[in-house]
C-alpha cells in the first residue's frame, strides 16, 4: 500500500473494513501487524444480543484498528484497515 508518508508499495490501496450494522465492539480478534487471510475474523460486534463476526474481505496485513472493545459504532464505521 502507498501511504501519505511515502511508505508501502505503490499501486496498492488500503482496504477499509467497515461495520455492516450499528452495535458495539464485543471483541477484537487481531492486532496491528498481523497477517490475515480472507475470511479471518477481525472483530466481533454485538447488536441486539447477537454476536456478529466481521471478517477480512481478502488476505493482507492489519495496518490499523480504529475501534476499542466496548465502543459503540454506527453502520459504515471503519473498524480496521488492511494493506
Task: Tell me the per-residue pLDDT of 25-50, one tens digit each, with 9 for 90 and over.
Answer: 999 999 999 999 999 999 999 999 99
Asked whether the beta carbons of 63 and 14 are under 8 A apart, the reply is yes
**What count of residues does the chain have?**
83
> Where in the chain are the domains?
15-82
Predicted local confidence at residue 11, as pLDDT: 52
Task: Tell me the per-residue pLDDT of 5-32, one tens digit each, with 9 for 90 and over.
Answer: 334 444 579 999 999 999 999 999 999 9
* CATH class as words, domain 15-82: mainly beta
Count the neighbouring beta carbons within 10 Å of the beta carbon of residue 2. 14
Query: Is residue 59 scored above 60 in pLDDT?
Result: yes
Q: Provide mean pLDDT across the span 67-78.
A: 98
Model's pTM, two decimal places?
0.83
Amino acid at each position: 500500500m502507498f501511504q501519505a508518508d511515502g511508505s508501502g508499495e505503490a499501486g496498492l490501496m488500503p482496504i477499509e473494513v467497515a461495520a455492516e450494522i450499528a452495535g458495539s465492539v464485543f471483541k477484537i480478534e487481531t492486532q496491528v501487524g498481523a497477517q490475515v487471510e480472507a475470511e479471518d475474523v477481525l472483530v466481533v460486534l454485538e447488536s441486539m444480543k447477537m454476536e456478529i463476526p466481521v471478517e477480512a474481505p481478502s488476505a493482507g496485513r492489519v495496518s490499523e484498528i480504529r475501534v476499542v472493545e466496548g465502543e459503540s459504532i454506527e453502520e459504515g464505521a471503519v473498524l480496521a484497515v488492511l494493506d
